[in-house]
Amino acid sequence: MEQIMCGKFGHGILLIAKSSRHPKSLISARNLMSGKIGQLGRPLLATPQPRYLIFSNRGYAMIITRVLRGALKIRYLLLGGAVGGGLTLQKKYEQWKEGLPDMTWIDSLLPNEQQWQSFRGSLMTMKENISEKVEIDPRIRELGESKYQEYKAWFNQRLDDAIKAAESRPDAPNTSDPLKNAKGELSKNTVAFARPLVNENIEEERKKAQTSQQRLDTMQEEVMQIQLKYQRELERLERENKELRKQMLLRGNQKLNNRKIKKSLIDMYSDVLDELSDYDSTYSTADHLPRVVVVGDQSSGKTSVLEMIAQARIFPRGGGEMMTRAPVKVTLSEGPYHIAQFKDSSREFDLTKESELAELRKEVELRMKNSVKNGKTVSHDVIAMTVKGPGLQRMVLVDLPGIISTVTVDMAEDTRDSIRQMTQQYMSNPNAIILCIQDGAVDAERSNVTDLVSQMDPTGRRTIFVLTKVDLAEENLANPDRLRKILAGKLFPMKALGYFAVVTGRGRQDDTIQTIKDYEERFFRNSKLFKDGLAMSGQVTTRNLSLAVAECFWKMVRETVEQQADAFKATRFNLETEWKNNFPRLRELDRDELFEKARGEILDEIVNLSQVSPRHWEEVLMSRIWEKVSMHVFENIYLPAAQTGNAGTFNTTVDIKLRQWAEQQLPARSVECGWESLQHEFYHFMNQAKLSPDHDDIFDNLKNSVVTEAMLRHSWEDKASEMLRVIQLNTLEDRSVNDKRDWDQAVKFLETSVKEKLQSTEQILREMLGPGRKERWMYWQSQTEEQQKRSSVKNELDKILYADKKHAPTLTQDELTAVRKNLQRNGIEIDNEFIRETWHPVYRRFFLQQSLARAYDCRKGYYLYHTGHESEMECSDVVLFWRIQQMLKVTANALRQQVMNREARRLDKEIKDVLEDYSQDTEMKQKLLTGRRVTLAEELKRVRQIQEKLEEFIQALNKEK
């Protein structure tokens, strides 16, 4: 079928289908829609004349719907496939490109521009040489001059074509090498019959070049195939890996047991020293375990000696300035790889790479600078690191700042004393091995360290003397016997276990350890001083020094470690006895454990806050809001309006003042009440928890501090005030009481409020007037002179009020004069201000009594109000208090929703943030969690840890024996 024609006919659709063989034949619309058309060109419905098939509107709509749905579906499929396929194809292409092998080696085979130019020049030269030097064999000449000219022209043409090809293809694949070889061969052949041989060689070399190019293309194709195969394998492995990880995650009940890594003996010993340093940082009594303390004058070479022992340049370098500003504890141990690692870091520095050595030195320098605080030059904070490597001696060394004689202007004033005090502190340990470093290039009389060492170890039982820079000493000293005296222990006043001479380099900062070691061995092998027997071979080189120090170190460790374990065992027993006697029913919890327990209790109280009922929230909020605004309602709204004595004026004044109040003060005051109510409820739960028999008062300071800090951080949402302003304005504008129940509640609210004010006014009057007649007669109380005068004034004022029950809030001048004269007749002298001070509470009590009486009368006045006869009864104050009561209800409801839905959760977040901050603040924990119970638990826990580590170390040490 070639075409289907469609047209509109009446209310239907006309479809005309024409066949290629029968142009006038038609196809049934039903068969067309159901797909039963048959083979192309065969008519299913044929008539001599075209017929028109009319579809109904419903059929037309179905056709259009199906066509549109198919078109939209195809469009979305094509669009989604194009976008997703493009992203997937781009990702696969990037992954495939990254996985390709390095093909830069091909560039070395292909000629560059310079090589092509050189090849072109060689062809030109070869043409000239062949034209000028190649001799023609006589046998060739016998063929005839014509043949000779023909061969010559042919060869020149082929050579010119080769030159043109070289000029037109400077970037073509590499075929220069074979032609260069051909040129070399042609240059050697100078016989006459070489012309046909040259031609054959060029053709042969060209074939070889083409073969080489084909082989290269084949190799590239093979590489591509291997890379694609490799990529497919990687994708398969990634899919399997994802499936395996999924299965492992699904097996949640199976836990992977981490293998416990066995520590080396020296690492165990280093951990014991770290524990002891934290337990007793002054090294006064408990920490008497051995360590090697490296001491010496500044720039004497002690850091270089330590680097030679560690076999790596791990410390910062400086030209004569102080570089060591804090103690550096280095734990040396044997290992397969030469690496360094800080105690508080997981990164391992490869000491065989100069780049990582530079990073390590930079990190050490940065840590030293960070440890120096408050304008000091040196710090007592220890920088601990571990160095492992093949052939290293196992020991723990502490590098200290060098001793100085003069404090420069860029140092703190107490730098010299601080360094000496720090050095004495480390050397005061009776089991510390003192590695005394003396600069051999400096006169012995200028040494500061030897006197200090002789004071701390006068017998020399734990001192090893090291003379550095012996090469400079040999070069500068005129008397070689001086070195012999030093190494024999006869020059310096101090005593030592051994005396060693070392050379730690030629003063070049970029020299490696191996270079320094070779230089040291070469120096001692060729030195005249030591050839003459001034020193024994065991007293020289840093290698012999490290062996001697390690032997002395482990000997002292074996002698002292069991004594320290016994001492801590006794300390533990004493602490446990004290705990049992003072806290028999409590677990031993340190500060961190107590903090976590307090955290749980605080969070539990926040959960209790969410259990408060909505009704309770609304009652609390209404009570607090009224407590905050009642003074304003009485003093600024109710009393000024009610004292006018006119119902119309009363309502006008009330409307104006209520609107001003709602627009200016009321929303902010309401938000304050909501925030205070939230705090009050939370503190209420905390106080209730204190009444529990399981309450532990050790947490009280922490809880109060956390809640107070959270309250200070927390603030109510800004949009809450604006929302309340709209609600309160709309509520206060409504003056129609539509329910008898609301009227009764308003009357009760008015009575209660007036009684509270009346009671406070009575209290003021009692303080002004003193005890009444009953108290004076029954309890023998008496009035002061001022109270007697005020009682007399009050009696006169009562007469005025009872004479005019609608008296104005203020006294007239005539009334003031009359009261003063009446009192003068009784011998009482007062001024007008005294009368006014007494008048205010007296008039307020009188007015409130009248208001309370009107409230009683209005209990049954709802009918008159509802029928429009409110003018017959003065109940405008009831309507006012109803409006205020409705405002309180609406405000309390809005604030309750805000508290329960928003503010309680925000407070919860603030408290959690404060707890998280406190958990990281050790000083805050020490400030808030105090008492002997805490300190005793922490000390007991620390002693147990030290004892366990000591016993573990002793067991490993005995096994090694």
pLDDT, tens digit (0-9, with 9 covering 90-100), for 552-602: 888 888 888 888 888 888 888 999 999 999 998 888 888 889 999 988 888
Average pLDDT rounded to a whole number, residues 863-890 = 81
- Return the pLDDT at 625: 92
Of 309, 272, 305, nearest to 387 by C-alpha is 309
- Return the pLDDT at 254: 42
Of 921, 463, 476, nearest to 706 by C-alpha is 921
Q: Is the pLDDT of residue 11 over 50?
A: no
- Return the pLDDT at 177: 44
Mean residue pLDDT of the chain comes to: 76
Measured CA to CA in angstroms, residue 250 lies from 186, 240, 244, 371, 830 at distances of 78, 15, 10, 47, 95
- Return the pLDDT at 134: 46
At 587-643, the pLDDT tens digits run 888 888 999 998 888 888 888 877 888 899 999 999 999 999 999 998 899 888 887
- Return the pLDDT at 72: 61
10 Å CB burial of residue 360 (0-12, 13-18, 19+) is buried
Of 751-755, 903-907, 909-913, the one with minimum mean pLDDT is 903-907
- Return the pLDDT at 882: 92
How far, in Å, CA of 875 to CA of 878, rounded? 5
Cβ contacts of 790-797, under 8 Å, gap ≥ 24: 790/834, 790/838, 792/823, 792/826, 792/828, 793/819, 793/823, 793/830, 793/834, 793/835, 793/838, 794/765, 794/769, 794/838, 794/842, 796/822, 796/823, 797/835, 797/838, 797/839, 797/842, 797/843
* Residue with the larger pLDDT of the pair 38 and 803: 803
How far, in Å, CA of 187 to CA of 205, rounded? 16
Of 283-297, 504-518, 550-564, the one with minimum mean pLDDT is 283-297
- Return the pLDDT at 892: 92
- Return the pLDDT at 540: 82
At 893-910, the pLDDT tens digits run 999 998 888 888 888 888
- Return the pLDDT at 643: 79
Q: Are 673 and 624 in contact (CB under 8 A)?
A: yes
Q: Are 290 and 432 in contact (CB under 8 A)?
A: yes
How far, in Å, CA of 307 to CA of 484, rounded? 26
- Return the pLDDT at 101: 59
How far, in Å, CA of 622 to CA of 674, rounded? 10
pLDDT confidence of 877, banded at 50, 70, 90?
confident
Q: Is the pLDDT of residue 21 over 80?
A: no
Average pLDDT rounded to a whole number, residues 328-339 = 85
At 147-182, the pLDDT tens digits run 556 666 766 776 677 666 655 544 444 444 443 443
Of 436, 461, 466, nearest to 450 by C-alpha is 436
- Return the pLDDT at 468: 87
- Return the pLDDT at 9: 39
Average pLDDT rounded to a whole number, residues 356-373 = 86
Q: pTM of the predicted model, to two decimals?
A: 0.49
- Return the pLDDT at 171: 45
The SS3 assignment for 581 reads: helix
Of 407-416, 479-488, 837-846, 949-958, the one with minimum mean pLDDT is 479-488
Name the percent of the chain lying above pLDDT 90: 7
- Return the pLDDT at 890: 93
How far, in Å, CA of 337 to CA of 392, rounded? 11
Q: Are 742 and 882 in contact (CB under 8 A)?
A: yes
The SS3 assignment for 725 reads: helix
Sorted by sequence, the CB contacts under 8 Å of residue 775 that are 6+ apart come out as: 781
Q: Is the pLDDT of residue 533 over 70?
A: no
Average pLDDT rounded to a whole number, residues 786-812 = 87
